Each structure stands twice: as structure tokens, then as C-alpha cells.
Amino acid sequence: MTHRYLILDGEIGGTGLRDQFEGFIQIDDVPISSLLKLEIILWLENYHKNFYNKIKIEIEVIPELDFKGIEIMNKIQNELGHEYKIRYYSDIKCKELKALENGQILVI
């Protein structure tokens, strides 16, 4: 079985989703619900507003953006199933992250 590897990523100029091997892809090209597509778009707008458009980042916003990104990553994985492998990359921390069951964020 071949997998498609996608990364949820808040990079400026990006679409919010990128193929690990091909770069950013259009959200509409991914077979997920319209509601989840909207959630990605809103998260991306919030990410840009709170990260790229500020001279000084409010430190308390960083975990909120990352937790929301990880939550969306899990929703994407649930909708797409096992043929896709979904990861989350925090542009703020410049690292791939995942959530632990106790609510902590783990840097990969």
C-alpha cells in the first residue's frame, strides 16, 4: 500500500497543506469535508495574523496555535484514513510537533 504524506503548515504564502514531496497543494484537491477545509483556512488566517503580522509575538498565543494545528491534523487524518499520513509543522517553533494524551506537545 502506498501512502500520501501531507503536512499541515502555517507558512506564509502557503495553502495550509503541503505534500511532503511536491510542496503546497490546494485544499480543494484534498478529499476532506467542506467544514474541515474552512477550519484549515480560518486557522491559517489566525496563524498569519498572530505570527507573521506582528513585530512581537505574544508568547501565550504560540501553544494555542500549535494545539489547534495538531487538533486539525488529527481531524484530517480521521477523515482521510490510513492511506494518508498527516503531520503538523510549527512554523513558529520551526519543528514538527505532535500531541501527547496528557495534553502536552511533543517535539519530533
Angle at 75 between CA 101 and CA 97, to 5 degrees: 50
Grouping H, G, I as helix, E, B as strand and the rest as coil, residue 69 is helix
Q: Is the pLDDT of residue 108 over 80?
A: no
Helix ranges (H only) for 2-91 are 34-47, 61-80
Could you tell me whether strands 23-24 and 84-90 are parallel, antiparallel, or unpaired per DSSP bridges?
unpaired
pLDDT tens by residue, 86-96: 999 999 889 99
Burial of 101 (0-12, 13-18, 19+ CB in 10 A): exposed
> What's the whole-model pTM score?
0.89
For 48-72, how does the pLDDT look when each residue is reduced to its tens digit (9 = 90+)? Answer: 988 876 667 777 888 899 999 999 9
pLDDT in tens, 12-42: 899 999 999 999 999 999 999 999 999 999 9
